[in-house]
Copies of this chain bind each other. A is one copy, B any other.
Amino acid sequence: MLAAKINGTEQAMTPVIDPEACKPRAPRKLHAREQHPEDTVVRVGDVAIGGGAFVVIAGPCSVESEEQMVETAQAVRQGGGAILRGGAYKPRTSPYSFQGLGPNGLTLLGLAGKATGLPYVTELMDAEDLPLLEEQADMIQIGARNIQNFSLLKKVGRSSKPVLLKRGLMTTVDELLMSAEYILDGGNQSVVLCERGIRTFETATRNTLDLSVVPVLKERTHLPVIVDPSHAVGKRRYVAPMAKAALAVGADGIMVEVHCRPEAALCDGEQSLHPSEFAELMAQLRGMAAMCGRTI
């Protein structure tokens, strides 16, 4: 099929590269506030992220069973959470760890969503699963490890589902905005950015939550910005202070891990809040939000 280096007829098979194909495109800055001064509001079911309310996304790290999912969703609903989270496809460092329930996990998320009236967000790891998520999920999460998986970004950019884009452990602000740009450039304008901790030398917490990225992002982009304190701190008892700090710093919401029985969780139980802890945190957040003229 390829041209050989010897004779002429074969060389005719060499592709003729259009010089235009090698040129960069004229850069757009679809993410930039300078080109779009008003805040973007992203709708997930009936929930608006970025419109002034403080939106709480909560749920278990991974979907494990119907009982776990429905019970936890009810705790999220009762506490005042607006969106449910849960992983059906799990990015795990080791191939031998629990990898998620896959399509069955999506079914259970749907059940829990119906049981509580909450829309749900779940992570997409493989473009092959995008049609299924588009059909079933309310919001698609691109996880920290795929923040520069540009093939995947392009594909969700062609989707009509809202996207929750998590900053990677090593992602600069410029890179995060450029990864968002991949999605916007594809036509999907419903992108929510999420700070979830960066990797530093400090090991007292799992990662280092970079809350200063919130005012930086709010200045540079019109996209909503939320904070995931759970993955950043890695320990349940540090989640509530960081969640309150996220509200104070001006984030549009948080994503926290809640599990009906954290001690039995298959993944990240150490950082998941008990339902009662979640309810207590929500009460505190509501008080703080009211003082700032915001609702939860």
> What is the interface of chain A, defined by CB distance below 8 A to chain B?
1-5, 13-15, 17, 21-28, 64-66, 70, 91-98, 101, 104, 107-108, 110-111, 114-115, 125-128, 136, 145-146, 148-152, 154, 168-170, 172-175, 178, 181-182, 185, 198-205, 208-216, 219, 232-233, 237-238, 241-242, 244-250, 266, 287-288, 291
- B residues near A125, Cβ cutoff 8 Å: 149-151
Asked if B210 and A202 sit within 8 Å, CB to CB, the answer is yes
Residues of B within 8 A of A266 (CB): 22
Does B216 lie within 8 Å of A238, measured CB to CB? yes
Q: Cβ of A248: which chain B residues have Cβ within 8 Å of it?
A: 241, 244-245, 247-249, 288
**A287 contacts across to B, CB distance below 8 A:** 291
In the complex with contacts A5-B115, A241-B249, A241-B250, A24-B97 CB distance below 8 A: yes
Query: Are A28 and B96 in contact, CB atoms less than 8 angstroms apart?
Result: yes
Q: How far, in angstroms, from A107 to B6 measured CA to CA in the complex?
A: 13
Residues of B within 8 A of A247 (CB): 248
Closest B residue by C-beta to A216: B204
Interface centre among A14, A28, A214 (most CB of B within 10 A): A14
